[in-house]
Structure 1
Amino acid sequence: MDFRGTWGKYYGKYKGLLGVNAQAVLQKNNEAWNSFFSLLKLKKGNKLPPYMNHVSSPGYWKDEATGRRRLILVIRQDRYVVDEQRRVIILKDFNLEVKFTGGLRWFGKQGRLEMHYDEARNAWYASIPVEVGVEEAKTGRRSKFIVHGERKVIQLESPKGNKAASIDLGINNLASVVVDDGTWLLYKGVRAKEDYFYFQRKIAEIQSLRDTLKDKLLSDAVEELNHEMRRLHGKLARRLLHLYRNFASHLLKQLHELGVSTIYLGYPFNIAQERGNKFTVNMWSYRKLMEAIELKAQEYGIKVYEVVEYNTSKYCAYHNVEVKRKPRGVAHCPMGHKLHSDLNGALNIMKRAIGKIPLVIKKPLSFIVGHNQVAP
């Protein structure tokens, strides 16, 4: 692909409309294509990450729910100013001031601004990448383009010890966590399941109404029902993300107090390849859950390594023989003992990562992850 030729052609074409921000749009486009070619090389060498089974070329910026092109405004990093006092973003090339709500979390040099329209919520959102704690430009002088957020550093604490922990993610139990000293933490996902089934039922009711009356309704009425379905999908996603962040905050605080410095996080290979029923694939946004853990771990200086958990629930962690899972949630080893199946999974993840597991497991510390708190 001729990146240089394409750049020259389209920069000249759109500079009059976007000004120098046309550079930012072209840069974003080039990043997508460079990523595509990098993934092709990985695929050729059989080195694609486990959650990826095919590679697609970049397409139009589309809304997944509507299939329509997304409205996105891309602004170069030096062509806007965030006025924290007046709560506005000043777009220099468009003589425009955009009011914003919400707090500014990070302090540092600002990157390319992207604003996008969320049709379901009828609202615009701004995304500003920040080099946290960085105040100098490439010239060595202090940058003029600083976002004055609350925090100048990502890491707030250092590990208190040198222990390792492994995490097996799930649905009924959001996470089963084992520390190499035998501590066992169990986080129940009942609230996530309640949210999922409640919103799926509401969405199904609207979909049934739409399909039943589709031939009798005006197109505007059909679109209004579609809009409501998208709104509910978005609300479910936000509620799940809120639960995941509450869980990650509580978990990392616990692990920090226990002296953990390294986490081995089980990667759900089968669900990543979209093998499973509708509930496991659609409800369990595993990547968002993993990201919540990994981002929170940075604040405590805890390292996180992903471990493919394929077959970790199938074999006994202590004897490496195939187990029987009956009744559900209990792993029966033919050598004469039984384990909680999620505990067995977490132990196998640890064994796969560091080659050893604790011989004695303490009584589990069990928690329910809610929207307002994580409670025993």
Structure 2
Amino acid sequence: MNQTITIKVKLNPTNEQIKLIDNGSLDYIKTINELVSEMVIDKKTTNKTSASVITPLNSAVKNQAIKDAKSVFKKAKKSKYKIIPVLKKPVIVWNNQNYTIKGNNISMPFIIDGKSKKIEIKADLNNDIFDTLSNAKLGTLRVTKKGRKYIAQISITLNIEPKTNGQVMGVDLGILIPAVATTQNGKVKFFGNGRQNKYYRRYYKTKRAKLSKAKKLNAIINMNNKEQRYMHNQDHKISRDIVNFAKENNVSVIRLECLEGISKTTRTSRKNKKNLHDWSFYRLSIYIEYKANLEGIRVEYVNPKYTSQTCPKCGERHKANGRSYFCKDCGFRTHRDLVGAKNIINATVIDGRSLSA
């Protein structure tokens, strides 16, 4: 089973190397924007090669810029040229044949005095990261700037042996309780704190309202960034805990509800409507999936229909009362979200490749 992930590594360039990165990054996005502009005018994909693109970048980087420009042009064409994306954030990209990693250095080529020359830049490569990179197939290298820091984003593909003959685990995602997981043999765990998340949402909303009155636009942007970082961090923690729970209980398959578009289709109370539209079930699902795949655990998506209403014991349907679920037919009683997790184990897999649970 192949899994592609991105490893982020901090670079420690010298002053001279900073100039090379900054100039190269600006030339890179300028080249892409110029190529996109030409393609939009001509209404067709460019036939240019690295030899016909005049810019102080080596041929491999030019080829990558042409490739990226074609990708941007596709988005413009899809919108019927109503939206023409323009790159602003400086970045420079190399393919896997044009950079090398050795010790605590990453070597990448730049144009110096008209000639392409590889430059070794020191990087924060600890033993764990170096071992991961050594055992993976390297992909593209992107160098970006975040504040005053320079970050190398290295795409890698890992070949991971999938787990077999393990248990199937169902995970129910929600607002008040971010996630509930249960295994076939009845092990249960609740993850996250939805009330705390809602508190932070309200806190940031109140702060934004005050800043908006004071017309402090930059402060509002920073506030939004803080809120997003908090929510991303919560999703990372929850997904890591879920995958660790799966490992502890010999789980080989995790099943999740396919919740794509839930914020548009779900009816909910006015109290929870804003939280539902803000909460990213998709992001949490993706975090669970890629972390699980790194451990050889497969993730399957199931049809969410009636998972929270069907009694897992007798199969009759009843609506929950608050957080409690009670089946009037067989007397089964438990937490509402746990009902969902139990039913997810046996629900129909969307792609039809269901394992017998």
- Cα deviation, 1:203-227, whole Å, max 9, x if unaligned, reads 631x23432222xxxxxxx454144
2:252 equivalent to 1:261: yes
2:85: which partner in 1? Answer: 60
Residues 166, 347 of structure 1: 8 Å contact kept? yes
Instruction: Spell out the pairing of 1:242-281 with structure 2 (5 A cutoff).
Output: 242-256=236-250, 260-271=251-262, 273=264, 275=266, 277-281=273-277
Aligned AA for 1:115?
Answer: V
Q: 1:213 to 1:169 in 2, by over 3 A?
A: closer
Q: 1:75 to 1:57 in 2, by over 3 A?
A: farther
2:67: which partner in 1? Answer: 27
Query: Could you tell me how far 1:306 is from its partner in structure 2?
Result: 1.0
CA distance in 2: counterparts of 1:6 and 1:311, whole angstroms: 47
Q: 1:35 to 1:199 in 2, by over 3 A?
A: same
Residues 191, 238 of structure 2: 8 Å contact kept? no
Query: Could you tell me how far 1:335 is from its partner in structure 2?
Result: 1.2
SS in 1 for 2:309: coil
Q: 1:324 to 1:131 in 2, by over 3 A?
A: closer
CA distance in 2: counterparts of 1:122 and 1:254, whole angstroms: 41
Q: 1:83 to 1:158 in 2, by over 3 A?
A: same
CA distance in 2: counterparts of 1:236 and 1:225, whole angstroms: 17
Residue from 76, 95, 98 that aligns with 2:95: 76
- Give TM-score, length-normalised by structure 2: 0.67
Instruction: Spell out the pairing of 1:190-339 with structure 2 (5 A cutoff).
Output: 190=193, 193-195=195-197, 197-198=199-200, 201-202=203-204, 204-205=206-207, 207-214=208-215, 222=216, 224-256=218-250, 260-271=251-262, 273=264, 275=266, 277-282=273-278, 284-326=279-321, 328-337=322-331, 338-339=333-334
5+ residue gaps, structure 1: 41-53, 63-68, 133-152, 215-221, 359-376
- Cα deviation, 1:178-231, whole Å, max 9, x if unaligned, reads 3233x13122321x64255336514631x23432222xxxxxxx4541442244
CA RMSD of aligned residues (A): 4.0
Residues 160, 296 of structure 2: 8 Å contact kept? no
Residues 168, 175 of structure 1: 8 Å contact kept? yes
1:92: which partner in 2? Answer: 110
Q: Sequence identity of aligned pairs in percent?
A: 18
Q: 1:26 to 1:163 in 2, by over 3 A?
A: same
Aligned AA for 2:341?
Answer: A
Residues 264, 307 of structure 1: 8 Å contact kept? yes
Residues 72, 117 of structure 1: 8 Å contact kept? yes
Query: Could you tell me how far 1:302 is from its partner in structure 2?
Result: 2.6
Query: Could you tell me how far 1:232 is from its partner in structure 2?
Result: 0.9
Q: 1:267 to 1:78 in 2, by over 3 A?
A: same
CA distance in 2: counterparts of 1:178 and 1:318, whole angstroms: 15
- The alignment of Structure 1 onto Structure 2 pairs a total of residues equal to 297
Aligned AA for 1:164?
Answer: V
Residues 58, 109 of structure 2: 8 Å contact kept? no
- Cα deviation, 1:154-189, whole Å, max 9, x if unaligned, reads 44x844x443222212233332223233x1312232
5+ residue gaps, structure 2: 1-38
- Cα deviation, 1:287-341, whole Å, max 9, x if unaligned, reads 3322232223334433221113133113333444331221x11123231523321
CA distance in 2: counterparts of 1:296 and 1:357, whole angstroms: 24
CA distance in 2: counterparts of 1:99 and 1:234, whole angstroms: 31
2:169: which partner in 1? Answer: 165
Aligned AA for 1:194?
Answer: Q
SS in 2 for 1:251: helix
Residues 324, 331 of structure 1: 8 Å contact kept? yes
Query: Could you tell me how far 1:122 is from its partner in structure 2?
Result: 5.3
- Give TM-score, length-normalised by structure 1: 0.64
